[in-house]
Amino acid sequence: MNRNYSTIAQRSSSVLATNNVLRNTYMLLSLTLLFSGLTAGLSMFLNMPPMTYLISVISGMVIAMFVLPRFAHSTAGIGIVFLITGLLGFGLGPMLTMYASLPNGGNIITLSLGGTG
């Protein structure tokens, strides 16, 4: 009887730990998506030129390939992930500005945001 109780307690503890990891992962994913949206809005507000997309995406990919692996197992890695998603969002600003100028462009952007969210 005692052995069964300890097995159940271990499984319950393992399930709770898994749930915490999943909750934290999805929370960070949501925060990075929100941050990317904010930087895209900032880029639209500043009316950045189209070349911003290319510069931001290349910068984000270089950071992801060469800087992020060095900090993958530290808390600084979270900041670097936010930097990368911020750059990618900032690069989307000129593209979103172009879509917003189209007829029904606001609906296109809203639909894609809802689908992504």
Number of domains in the chain: 1
pLDDT band for 41, please (50, 70, 90 cuts): very high
Average pLDDT for residues 95-107, to the nearest whole number?
A: 90
Q: Is 71 left (phi over 0), alpha (psi -120 to 50) or beta?
A: alpha
CA torsion sign for 45, 49, 55, 57 is: positive
Mean pLDDT of 6-12: 62
pLDDT at 10 over 80: no
Average pLDDT of 44-69?
A: 94
The pLDDT value given to residue 21: 83
| Mean pLDDT along residues 85-95 | 95
pLDDT of residue 3: 59
d(CA 106, CA 97): 10
What angle do the packed helices 76-101 and 105-116 form, to 10 degrees? 150
Q: Residue 18's pLDDT is what? A: 76
- Mean pLDDT in the chain? 87
The residue range of the domain holding 63 is 4-116
Query: Can you spell out the DSSP letters for 13-79?
Result: HHHHHHHHHHHHHHHHHHHHHHHHHHHHHHHHHTT--THHHHHHHHHHHHIIIIIGGGGTTSTHHHH
Residue 94 has what pLDDT? Answer: 94
At residue 86, does pLDDT exceed 80?
yes
pLDDT given at position 27 = 93
